[in-house]
């Protein structure tokens, strides 16, 4: 069953009912100001940091969980309705929500009135624009009252939801004309405020929530709206909100339009005040004036669309598979942008008050983002590297506002350092820019500790070399990619964090997954060394890679698949000898990608085993059989009921590893099959089972052992997005950035047929046609046959015509 449809021409998903199984959301904002918006206009917005600079309030564990957000009401006689269905929840005559690239629109009708609502964040400014257009399609004159509404968050979202004894006395506002300024705590240490305005004179306003709603009422039935009134209240303490009311008379056929703006302003500390107690509104007024007309609104909206046109023109495929085109050209790349911006901080599943940016998460997000805006990727790499410790290990997370490592979680996740190598190598492959390696980058953000980025990569690599266990495999520390495989934790008390409890290191527990990573990224590091002339170092590292490769072949292979780990007692994890958790997906993907045991056919066997034990209708599960009891020596992984999360769900992030792995051993059938199984567009028809948005990946889909088999959770913020881009655009369709230039190496099935790709790369445009005519002629560039897969780059050349014959 579907709840909408893809509109590819407009790059939108059109939702046709407010009653999706879960709120289906979108993101607004590009850099700085961000909003989450659901298909009933719920959600919230923030500046840079969803925890520390929350602008509007979101209520956790709410019922329904999507109430609040951007509140618009139309009072038409005795009927009050909302174009986004909520908050009024009045049945609509028609409803449509379209999530597009950085914007969301609603188009609804009730009793002959049509209302359109459009939401987006204009490029380069810290505000959300909301336009409400109303048209009278009836034969009578309509006397309507329009209401807007938002609820202010008192900035720190954690404090906001718990420190009531203080908070309920601190709310402060100013109202000037149609603009409501929220200035809580500005009187003391803050130098920022927010405002909500509309480009017309208003008939009234309310900022006191209790007055607006009335005693005992909720957002669906504010007493003021019911009575067609506004109290012109200026809240003091309690719950400050911002609501405008506008009376409008519409003749039959007449249309009116209003542009609302929700903005965020920072003021230099020495210019905070206009006069005693009165905030300096100059910067706000400038921003307000910038967007106070339909024309300005439309120009900004067009600029946003142009921005996305441009971004999505960097990689564009045309194949006969409509779903592949749709996902590659639109939604995969869009999701990658969202994960780049959010890491795992703010979604409808990540509260925005928990973790900030994850080290390994953000490094991996970059793998799929690199081609979109390499300059931003570069800055991010430096930010991430700056939280690394001198010994090469690193903080696991950092807060985007401060860019400091989070001390409460600390470090000790032994895969983390290697991801820095992965993303830096990808950056150089994309751009050819090796100057990033010279960038002075601090350790642990300590001023004066700066070393060239290359030194950070070196320490990452050496961290693994210096931290190996009894079998010569890398020690796991607190966990590797699988945050829930906690082999040194041994937690017995409820509530203890599996990730931080106990010592971070143990001298015995080893990870075959990190071994796979080291072999893959050790080689990439050595390639960089060669590329910049450090040939001796390249040799040394290749020798180290060889050691780990040999150790993995000897001690990390179980006969039919790769082992997962050795626990703190030296017992095998993920072996046929185990009762539960006999086989895990991660090392099959990574060790095969790394080419471990290639000559011995390990990869093919490992992938066959995945199909034998882990594959289900919607993807490949993370392990089998699921753990049915808690294993203190394994940690959080065994804490989940069977079939969920790391205990046997499809953890979508690692599915593309296996698809890429299949391309490494030349198995196009498996590569594409794995890609399709969990790909959202291919699951759209079972949206009632899947339940999350059909345009983006969710982190997990419950496995066969689960009560709710096939149900997805944790949509949007998952490393799957980036890895899928790597998988489909590079490994399967075969357009691969390398240090030396663009390489064409498709791994597609016969059925997939011929296709074309336009790729912009290092300042040139490549028109690539992959032609399946059975000739096997290979690469032809501008009419001339070329040996191998690499397109020879010609200085100053701007366009390449490329054919690749299979």
Query: Which residues of this chain interact with ligand BGC, rule CB under 6 A?
Result: 344, 358, 360-361, 481-484, 646
C-beta closer to ligand BGC: residue 360 or 371 = 360
Angle between helices 294-312 and 332-342 (to 10 degrees): 110
C-beta closer to ligand BGC: residue 233 or 482 = 482
Q: How far is the CB of 482 from ligand BGC (least distance, A)?
A: 5
Q: How far is the CB of 441 from ligand BGC (least distance, A)?
A: 22
- The runs of H, that is alpha helices, within 686-777 are 687-690, 720-725
C-beta closer to ligand BGC: residue 358 or 522 = 358
Residue 783 burial (C-beta neighbours within 10 Å; 0-12, 13-18, 19+) = exposed
Q: Strand order of the sheet with strand 650-651? A: 650-651, 698-701, 712-715
C-beta closer to ligand BGC: residue 136 or 504 = 504
C-beta closer to ligand BGC: residue 106 or 481 = 481
Angle between helices 602-613 and 586-593 (to 10 degrees): 160
C-beta closer to ligand BGC: residue 260 or 498 = 498
Q: How far is the CB of 385 from ligand BGC (least distance, A)?
A: 18
C-beta closer to ligand BGC: residue 360 or 564 = 360
Angle between helices 535-555 and 453-466 (to 10 degrees): 30
Q: List the structure tokens of 563.
A: 């082992």
Cβ atoms < 10 Å from Cβ of 799: 9
C-beta closer to ligand BGC: residue 149 or 358 = 358
Q: At 676, phi and psi to the nearest 5? A: -70, -35
User: Omega of the bond prior to 87 within 30 degrees of 0, cis?
Assistant: yes
Q: Give the DSSP H/E element, type plus range, for residue 317.
A: strand 315-318
Q: List the structure tokens of 716.
A: 């949007």
User: What is the SS3 assignment for 681?
Assistant: helix
Q: How far is the CB of 498 from ligand BGC (least distance, A)?
A: 11
Catalytically annotated residues: 483
Q: Give the DSSP H/E element, type plus range, for residue 196.
A: strand 192-198
d(CA 305, CA 636) in angstroms, rounded, equals: 44
Query: Are 378 and 441 contacting, i.e. CB atoms less than 8 angstroms apart?
Result: no
Q: How far is the CB of 345 from ligand BGC (least distance, A)?
A: 10
C-beta closer to ligand BGC: residue 326 or 360 = 360
In the bound state, the residue with its beta carbon closest to ligand BGC is 483
C-beta closer to ligand BGC: residue 125 or 646 = 646
* Long-range contacts at 289-297 (CB < 8 A, ≥ 24 apart): 290/125, 291/122, 291/125, 291/127, 291/129, 291/199, 291/259, 291/261, 292/199, 292/259, 292/261, 293/199, 293/259, 294/131, 294/257, 294/259, 296/259, 297/129, 297/131, 297/259
Cα 210 to the chain's mean position, in Å?
A: 36
C-beta closer to ligand BGC: residue 233 or 699 = 699
Cβ atoms < 10 Å from Cβ of 323: 16
C-beta closer to ligand BGC: residue 497 or 789 = 497
The residues with which 781 forms a beta bridge, in sequence order, are: 784, 802
Q: How far is the CB of 379 from ligand BGC (least distance, A)?
A: 21
Q: How far is the CB of 538 from ligand BGC (least distance, A)?
A: 29
**CA atoms in the 13 A half-sphere facing the CB of 790:** 8
Among 278, 682, 646, 240, CA closest to 480: 646
User: What is the full DSSP assignment across 588-640?
Assistant: HHHHHHTTTTGGGTHHHHHHHHHHHHTEETTEE-SEESPP-S--TTTGGGGGS
The DSSP secondary-structure symbol of 182 reads E
d(CA 305, CA 122) in angstroms, rounded, equals: 10
Q: How far is the CB of 358 from ligand BGC (least distance, A)?
A: 5
The Cα angle at residue 453 between residues 357 and 365, in degrees rounded to 5: 30
C-beta closer to ligand BGC: residue 720 or 729 = 720
Query: Are 459 and 390 contacting, i.e. CB atoms less than 8 angstroms apart?
Result: yes
User: What is the SS3 assignment for 765?
Assistant: strand
Q: How far is the CB of 616 from ligand BGC (least distance, A)?
A: 19
Q: How far is the CB of 485 from ligand BGC (least distance, A)?
A: 8
Residue reference for tokens 């900022």:
207
Which residues, in sequence order, are CB contacts of 127 under 8 Å at separation 6+? 33, 121, 261, 262, 263, 264, 287, 291
The percent helix, strand, coil of the chain (3-state, each to 5) is: 30, 25, 45
Q: How far is the CB of 473 from ligand BGC (least distance, A)?
A: 19
d(CA 474, CA 415) in angstroms, rounded, equals: 9
Q: List the structure tokens of 212.
A: 């607006």
Query: Are 735 and 729 contacting, i.e. CB atoms less than 8 angstroms apart?
Result: yes
Q: How far is the CB of 617 from ligand BGC (least distance, A)?
A: 22
User: What are the distances in angstroms from CA 577 to CA 571, 583, 588, 705, 766?
Assistant: 10, 10, 17, 21, 51
Q: How far is the CB of 474 from ligand BGC (least distance, A)?
A: 16
């Amino acid at each position: 069953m579907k709840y909408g449809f893809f509109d590819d021409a407009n790059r939108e998903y059109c939702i046709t009912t407010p009653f999706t199984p879960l709120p289906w959301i979108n993101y607004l904002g590009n850099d700085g100001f961000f909003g989450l918006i659901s298909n009933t206009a719920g959600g919230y917005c923030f500046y840079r940091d969803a925890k520390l600079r929350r602008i509007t309030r979101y209520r956790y564990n709410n019922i329904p969980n999507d109430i609040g957000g951007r509140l618009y009401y139309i009072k038409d006689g005795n009927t009050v309705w909302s174009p986004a269905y909520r908050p009024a929840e009045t049945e609509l005559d028609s409803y449509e929500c379209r999530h597009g690239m950085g914007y969301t629109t609603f188009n609804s009708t009730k009793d002959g009135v049509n209302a359109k609502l459009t939401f987006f964040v204009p490029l380069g400014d810290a505000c959300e624009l909301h336009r409400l257009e109303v048209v009278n399609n009836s034969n009578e004159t309509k006397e309507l009252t329009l209401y807007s509404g938002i609820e202010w968050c008192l900035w720190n979202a954690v404090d906001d939801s718990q420190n009531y004894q203080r908070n309920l006395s601190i709310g402060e506002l100013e109202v000037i004309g149609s603009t409501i300024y929220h200035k809580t705590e500005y009187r003391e240490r803050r130098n920022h405020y927010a405002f909500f305005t509309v480009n017309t004179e208003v008939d009234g306003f309310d900022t006191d929530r209790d007055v607006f709603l009335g005693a005992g009422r909720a957002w669906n039935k504010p007493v003021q709206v019911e009575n067609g009134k506004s109290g012109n209240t200026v809240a003091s303490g309690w719950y400050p909100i911002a609501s405008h009311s506008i009376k409008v008379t519409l003749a039959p056929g007449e249309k009116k339009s209003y542009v609302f703006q929700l903005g965020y302003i920072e003021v230099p500390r020495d210019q905070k005040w206009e006069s005693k107690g009165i905030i300096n509104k100059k910067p706000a007024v400038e921003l307000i004036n910038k967007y106070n007309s339909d024309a300005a609104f439309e120009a900004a909206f067009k600029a946003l669309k142009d921005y996305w046109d441009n971004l999505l023109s960097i990689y564009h495929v045309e194949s006969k598979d409509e779903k592949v085109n749709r996902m590659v050209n639109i939604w995969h790349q869009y999701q990658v942008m969202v994960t780049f911006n959010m890491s795992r901080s703010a979604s409808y599943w990540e509260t925005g008050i928990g973790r900030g940016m994850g080290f390994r998460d953000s490094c991996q997000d970059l793998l799929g983002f690199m081609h979109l805006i390499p300059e931003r990727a570069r800055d991010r790499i430096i930010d991430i590297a700056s939280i690394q410790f001198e010994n090469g290990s690193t903080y696991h997370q950092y807060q985007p506002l401060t860019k400091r490592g989070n001390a409460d979680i600390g470090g000790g996740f032994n895969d983390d350092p290697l991801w820095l190598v992965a993303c830096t190598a990808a950056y150089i492959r994309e751009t050819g820019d090796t100057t990033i390696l010279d960038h002075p980058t601090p350790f642990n953000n300590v001023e004066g500790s700066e070393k060239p980025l290359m030194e950070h990569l070196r320490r990452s690599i050496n961290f693994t070399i210096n931290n190996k266990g009894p079998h010569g495999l890398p020690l796991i520390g607190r966990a590797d990619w699988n945050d829930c495989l906690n082999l040194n934790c041994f937690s017995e008390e409820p509530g203890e964090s599996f990730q931080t409890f106990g010592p971070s290191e143990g001298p015995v527990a080893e990870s075959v997954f990190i071994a796979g990573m080291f072999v893959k990224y050790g080689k990439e590091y050595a390639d960089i060394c060669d590329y910049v002339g450090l040939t001796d170092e390249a040799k040394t590292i290749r020798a180290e890679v060889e050691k780990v490769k040999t150790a993995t072949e000897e001690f990390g292979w179980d006969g039919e698949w790769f082992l997962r780990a050795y626990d703190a007692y030296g017992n095998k994890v993920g072996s046929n000898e185990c009762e539960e958790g006999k086989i895990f997906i991660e090392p099959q993907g990574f060790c095969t990608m790394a080419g471990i045991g290639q000559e011995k056919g390990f990869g093919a066997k490992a992938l066959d085993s995945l199909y034998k034990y882990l594959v289900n209708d919607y993807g490949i599960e993370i392990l089998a059989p699921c753990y049915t009891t808690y294993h203190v020596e394994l940690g959080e992984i065994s804490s989940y009921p069977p079939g969920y999360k790391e205990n046997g769900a499809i953890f979508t992030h690692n599915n593309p590893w296996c698809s890429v792995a299949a391309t490494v051993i030349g198995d196009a059938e498996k590569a594409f099959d794995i890609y399709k199984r969990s790909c959202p567009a291919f699951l759209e028809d079972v949206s009632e089972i899947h339940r999350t948005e059909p345009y983006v990946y969710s982190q997990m889909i419950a496995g066969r052992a689960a009560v709710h088999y096939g149900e997805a959770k944790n949509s949007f913020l998952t490393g799957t997005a980036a890895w899928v881009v790597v998988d489909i655009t590079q490994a399967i369709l075969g357009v691969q950035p390398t240090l030396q230039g663009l390489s064409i190496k498709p791994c597609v099935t016969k059925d997939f047929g011929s296709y074309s790709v336009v790729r912009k790369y290092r300042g040139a445009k490549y028109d690539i046609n992959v032609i399946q005519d059975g000739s096997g002629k290979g690469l032809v560039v501008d009419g001339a046959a070329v040996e191998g897969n690499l397109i020879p780059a010609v200085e100053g050349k701007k366009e390449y015509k490329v054919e690749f014959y299979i």
